[in-house]
Amino acid sequence: MVASPIVMFLEGEGTDAHGRTVFEIVAMDDIALDRTHDFIQWLFPLPEPSKAVPESPVLTPGDIQALRSSELAPIALAGARDRMISFYRTTHDWLMPNDHNHRRITRIIRSLRLLQGDEAADCFRDAILARVQETRAPISARSLGYWATA
């Protein structure tokens, strides 16, 4: 059976819709990560279509099973998670009541929970909440609620 594009991408064997590998995306600098809006759906896929980037991958039950049992995908997911934690620790434009990054954060938490389990998802969420508390950022109750239930 041939692996789907999202499985191949997260196993380091394929590219996203723009020809980028998972490694190239994770290596992007903070400015590129903030300004590029079509990568997060590839790093952290979900089983429903993206409204922001309609051509993004949509996880199937087979993809979820393949990614959970993969030896390589968890390494890429951990690298992507760590890169995004670093991004949110070193940038500050998202530390406001509403920002496009709040949706990204919700997606990341949901995807990690689905593909790697509660521990990975909670680790990411806790890092985000620690940054919010440390900076006393005025994040909206709505965003905080999404993160708590993701």
Instruction: Pick the closest to residue 53 from 43, 39, 63 (CA basis).
Output: 39
Residue carrying the six token digits 């409204």:
51
pLDDT score of 52 more than 90: no
> CA-CA distance, 94 to 42, in Å (whole number)?
21
How big is the CA angle at 86 (ends 20 and 121), to the nearest 5 degrees? 85
pTM comes to 0.95
Contacts of 102 (CB under 8 A, 6+ apart): 94, 139, 140, 143, 146
73-130 pLDDT, tens digit per residue, is: 999 999 999 999 999 999 999 999 999 999 999 999 999 999 999 999 999 999 999 9
Phi, psi of 93 (to 5 degrees): -65, -25
